[in-house]
Amino acid sequence: MTDLKLVSSVRCFEGEQRRYEHQARTLDCTMQFSVYLPPQALRSEHVPAVLWLSGLTCTDENFSAKAGAQRVAAELGLALIIPDTSPRGDQVADDDAYDFGKGAGFYVNATEQPWAKHYQMYDYISKELIELVHKELPLNGRLSISGHSMGGHGALIMALRETERFESVSAFAPIAHPSACPWGLKAFTGYLGEDRAKWQDYDAVSLMRQGQQCPPLLVDQGSDDNFLAEQLNFSLLEETVKSLDSPSHLRLQKGYDHSYYFIASFIEEHLRFHHSYLTS
């Protein structure tokens, strides 16, 4: 018996873009996530995967529809695993704001009520979902992680905390130091409470300052991103990354903003970056 229900499947670059549904134990709700399986996986080969974490207001479908990643993933033989950004369902607590509640789980394990019952996104992604896709899909166990904005924050903290799990990590415009920006202050106070010591496990800059090592890293940030000055702390991430022993490449891309046009412009380079480590 499979733990997954196939919701949809469409042909794409000789592979398949799929959407699955399952009952998430960690989140205590029904979740959907998207997967791209390259043609190699359809020929019964077991392939490496890149886990993609999306940003605020996104679902599992934004990246698959807008980033244009499937063509390169098909060429390289990479599966793409694309979860949702929060728990879902009528029983799940929500907020009227776009940057808190549904669509804005921030990839943390909430400890405050009413969020703690369902908002266990860190454990859902890093444990339950990864175990599930490797059990149910033709994957070979080698995994890298990437993400955008809130998802870039999620990718960085998971790579820093789960160093044995990921071969490499990349991010587009990540919220690098959420403990010191409006988005993060709101989310961490709501989900984790007022004790800022509890926030540090979910803050990439803080984890690096504590000496946590990182897999090989690639970060792209647009110079014309309207969130750059207030929310993202890219320059602080640049400064902090200098303490890492692993290879790191941080690039400020002139003229690019925060949108999926930015992601689509550089996703091929990110996938090739991950492929070099996933197949080495």
What confidence score (pLDDT) does residue 242 get?
87
For residue 125, how many other CB atoms are within 10 A of its CB? 24
Q: Is the pLDDT of residue 61 over 70?
A: yes
SS3 214: coil
Average pLDDT on 163-178 reads 97
Q: Which is catalytic among the residues 60, 84, 220, 225?
A: 225
Average pLDDT on 85-99 reads 97
CA distances in angstroms from 147 to 64, 86, 176, listed in the order given: 13, 14, 12
Average pLDDT on 6-26 reads 98
Instruction: Give the Cα separation of 6 and 9 in Å (integer).
Output: 8
Looking at the chain, the whole-number percentage of residues with pLDDT higher than 70 is 100
What confidence score (pLDDT) does residue 244 get?
83
pLDDT band of 3, cuts 50, 70, 90: confident
The number of distinct structural domains making up the chain is: 1
Q: What is the CATH number of the domain that holds 114?
A: 3.40.50.1820
Q: Is the pLDDT of residue 1 over 80?
A: no
> Taking the complete model, does pTM exceed 0.85, yes or no?
yes
Instruction: Give the Cα separation of 22 and 26 in Å (integer).
Output: 11
In the annotation, is 225 catalytic?
yes
To the nearest whole number, what is the mean pLDDT of the chain?
97
Q: Which domain holds residue 236?
A: 5-279
226: exposed, middle or buried (Cβ count in 10 Å: 0-12, 13-18, 19+): exposed
The partner residues of 23 in beta bridges, in order of sequence, read: 30
Token digits for 24? Answer: 């998430």
What confidence score (pLDDT) does residue 12 get?
98
What confidence score (pLDDT) does residue 273 get?
98
Q: Which of 109, 247, 88, 263 is nearest to 174 (CA)?
A: 263
Average pLDDT on 142-156 reads 98
Q: Which is catalytic among the residues 34, 54, 144, 149?
A: 149
Q: What is the pLDDT of residues 204-221, one digit of tens each?
A: 999 999 999 999 999 999
Q: Which is catalytic among the residues 118, 153, 258, 270?
A: 258
For residue 228, how many other CB atoms are within 10 A of its CB? 18
What confidence score (pLDDT) does residue 11 get?
98
SS3 230: helix
Cβ-based neighbours of 177, under 8 Å, separated by 6 or more: 184, 203, 204, 205, 206, 233, 236, 237
Q: Is the pLDDT of residue 176 over 60?
A: yes
Instruction: Give the Cα separation of 200 and 173 in Å (integer).
Output: 20
In the annotation, is 149 catalytic?
yes
What confidence score (pLDDT) does residue 238 get?
95
